[in-house]
Amino acid sequence: MGTLKYFSYLSFILLFISCNEYNDERHSFNTILLQQWNFSNCPKKIIFEKYLKNSNFKNIIEKDSSFNIICDSINKQIIISPYEPYIDKINYDIKLIIDDDIEYEIKDIKSKLDTSFYSFSVGRKYYINYSIYSMTVNGNKSIQNNDVNIVISANDGTIKKK
């Protein structure tokens, strides 16, 4: 009877261990968070420009304005999510323009491939994405805690000259 009980426990443990699911997504980032947004208006237009790395924002690679914008007035932040995810490591500089008025020049982006897991039921679900741990926004060094989001203080923006 002891052997049957031991075998049952072992089978149960192996069931939990063997149900792991791996999702190798390799997203550059999931969202852009503009924190400390102290304005009453919600942005209507976002322009995301990719520039050749270290080109001093002269050689544009791509321009995109397909983003979902959510204004979180409770946490005073804007959540900007691309409709189509950006894949692979960020190997370019970024200019983010909000409503043609506020500009964020993001460069020196350092990221690493990272695995995070979520455990809701049997086994674990693993996600493999890039985590951003350092960048410079308009000349201000920003340190992040290995996040899959680009986190920017709204105060780091510069008013775009018209």
Q: Per-10-residue mean pLDDT for the chain, 162 residues long?
A: 66 58 74 88 93 94 93 92 87 94 93 70 68 88 77 89 64
Q: Which helix H or strand E contains 14, and what residues bound it?
A: helix 2-18
In this prediction the pTM is 0.78
Q: Which helix H or strand E contains 16, and what residues bound it?
A: helix 2-18
Asked if residue 157 lies in contact with residue 138, where contact means CB atoms within 8 angstroms, the answer is yes
CA 122, CA 158: separation in Å to the nearest integer? Answer: 48
Domain boundaries along the sequence of the chain:
20-159
CA 104, CA 159: separation in Å to the nearest integer? Answer: 9
CA 71, CA 74: separation in Å to the nearest integer? Answer: 9
pLDDT of residue 115: 72
Task: Take residue 28 and report the two structure tokens written for it.
Answer: 């550059």
